Amino acid sequence: MTEHDDPNRDRLKHHFSQRVIHQARHLLEIWQNLSRSEWNSAGLADLREACLRLLRYAERFEQAEHAQLAASIGNCLEAVERNNGRLSSELISELNQLMQRLSRTGLRHGDQFEQTQLPPLRKPVYLALQDFERAERLAQQLEFFGLQALPCEHANAFRAAMSERHPAALVMELDFAGGGLPLAEEVQAGLAQKVPVLFFSHEETDTPTRLAAARAGGQDFFTGTLDASSVLEKIETLTRVAHYEPFRVLIVDDSRAQGTHTERVLNGAGIVTRALTAPLSVMAEMAEFQPDLIILDMYMPECLGTELAKVIRQHERYVSVPIIYLSAEDDLDKQLDAMSEGGDDFLTKPIKPRHLIATVRNRAARARSLKARMVRDSLTGLYNHTHTLQLLDDARYRSRRDGRPLTFAMLDIDHFKKVNDSFGHPMGDRVIKSLALFLKQRLRKTDHIGRYGGEEFAVVLPDTDANAAHKVLEDIRQRFAEIRYPAHPGDLSCTFSCGIAQLIEPMDITTLAKQADEALYRAKRSGRNRVEIYS
């Protein structure tokens, strides 16, 4: 018997591979907890320890992909440590991407022990529907969105799946196996943390039933029809790794020592900062850094803080960015006068670190929440037309500065008027939301997706040339066409057309958008359901 035929060796390999998977999950859990709270030295130490252990296990048990990811994460954490625990937006972005990749890994592709069927890091969703064929179709649809789903044919199959592994969420029909609600209550009994359940019923239900469903872990209740996009929209937040976006604060203070002190205090609370000692360069820094909040010194040699606040407020884009004055000025009348000149708060030096952190965090959180309402489309949650063009302009600036490619794409759902006319506007809205979710699932976190208007979408793709963009969007086009929406008399499917243009200096964003629009028009004219590059 050869070494590879040894069943004991297979079992040992299986056991060791599971240890790598479990350690990867542990690392991701620490990252999620850190992302939900504030960045601190204790959390950073836990993250570094978990990363070192993952690297050690992965190297010992020959899991190359996990070893490479652990090493890259470790390098990022060492960079934070070298920077005295201070964060940068670049490091946070890189860590986010590495954690997203880690969340998608199982055993290496082609690994001879892959038949051990270790579960993926991303938990599946269990489907417990009365019609098993319908559950299988829904599972297939969810997989188009990159979400693993397991249909359960009967109550025992469901119990067996639950005993083996808890899902990220459960879709349970009230009539499943003669009584879905009692079955949900049964499996939730004794669990410290209930599994989120999305209940479904063909008919509308009464309040006592919905109350019982909520007590059994119900997070939502669907009635009538059940489609993949509606389910995914609800469980998306439950199944993804947290994308940590710390607040960004620009500090303008002619004293380098004071600016550095403020930076250190805020960095220790997980807030990314940038200190500026030359106030007259503030507008260029604003465009580059895009802060959530600005801290201004009141008295600087080149200008007063109140004068600088007026200049910032003259730009429509920065009207709502909170400005906090930080000064030794203790005259209340002067403080009130300063706040009437475009400021939102006035803090007097010296200030306790906890006071500074709490003020900055509260102001920045409120401003970010209000901005999200202003710049996002209410139906899809994507950026609106105006903000998409602002993001395109920012990306063009970075592309020119760094010498990197930039692509802009415009998408339009084919024959959308027929969808509204034949199936009604609620179905049209469902298709629009479905495409929005599909794009968010399959594009990078660094790409910007906007609803350009009606059934038209726009995508800003930094660091991407036209051919690479074509490859990505062509794959999305093909897979989106496979989605089915339950409808009468038969299921509905939709397609989209797409036009792509690449930035060529000294082109402005108006020209770039016009070229993408022309490429989209050519795709429509050439038969629709296709992706065209402007030439």
- Cα–Cα nearest to 410, from 380, 374, 361, 453: 453
Q: What is the DSSP string of 357-388?
A: HHHHHHHHHHHHHHHHHHHB-TTT-SB-HHHH
- pLDDT above 60 (res 152): yes
- pLDDT above 80 (res 424): yes
- pLDDT by residue (tens digit) across 97-117? 788 788 766 433 333 333 333
The CATH code of domain 385-533 reads 3.30.70.270
| Residue 119 pLDDT | 42
- pLDDT above 60 (res 403): yes
Which of the given ranges, 151-155, 167-171, 177-181, 329-333, has the highest pLDDT on average?
151-155
Cβ contact 280:271 at 8 Å:
no
- pLDDT above 70 (res 444): yes
Handedness of CA 358, 364, 365, 370 (dihedral sign): positive
| Residue 101 pLDDT | 80
Higher pLDDT, 526 or 488: 526
Cβ contact 79:108 at 8 Å:
no
Higher pLDDT, 126 or 306: 126
| Residue 39 pLDDT | 67
| Residue 51 pLDDT | 92
- pLDDT above 80 (res 33): no
- pLDDT above 90 (res 304): no
CA angle 335, 259, 355 (to 5 degrees): 55
| Residue 1 pLDDT | 45
Across 238-247, 282-291, 418-427, 457-466, least confident range? 238-247
- pLDDT above 50 (res 43): yes
The CATH code of domain 248-374 reads 3.40.50.2300
DSSP state of 299: B
Return the amino acid letter for 377: D
CATH 3.30.70.270-classified regions of the chain: 385-533
**Cα(220)–Cα(224) distance, integer angstroms:** 14
Q: Give the strands of the sheet with 272-276, arranged side by side.
A: 272-276, 248-252, 293-296, 323-327, 345-348
| Residue 104 pLDDT | 67
Provide the pLDDT confidence category of residue 168 given band limits of 50, 70 and 90: confident
Return the amino acid letter for 134: R
Q: Please, which residues have CB within 8 angstroms of residue 108's CB and are 6 or more apart in sequence?
A: 63, 64, 65, 114
DSSP state of 176: G
Across 48-62, 84-98, 143-157, 181-195, least confident range? 84-98
| Residue 307 pLDDT | 86
| Residue 266 pLDDT | 86
**Cα(199)–Cα(223) distance, integer angstroms:** 9
Q: Region 28-47: what's the mean pLDDT?
A: 75
| Residue 245 pLDDT | 74
Return the amino acid letter for 389: L
- pLDDT by residue (tens digit) across 219-237? 888 888 777 767 777 776 6
| Residue 239 pLDDT | 55
| Residue 108 pLDDT | 36
- pLDDT above 90 (res 346): no
| Residue 2 pLDDT | 46
The CATH code of domain 3-116 reads 1.20.120
Residue 109, Cβ density class (10 Å: 0-12 exposed, 13-18 middle, ≥19 buried): exposed
Q: Which CATH number fits domain 125-239: 1.10.10.10, 3.40.50.2300, 3.40.50.300, 3.30.230.10?
A: 3.40.50.2300
- pLDDT above 90 (res 438): no
Which of the given ranges, 24-33, 217-226, 250-259, 512-521, has the highest pLDDT on average?
512-521
- pLDDT above 70 (res 118): no
Higher pLDDT, 523 or 190: 523
Across 306-315, 469-478, 506-515, least confident range? 306-315
Cβ contact 161:190 at 8 Å:
no
Q: Say how many residues make up the chain.
A: 535
| Residue 10 pLDDT | 58
CATH 3.40.50.2300-classified regions of the chain: 125-239, 248-374
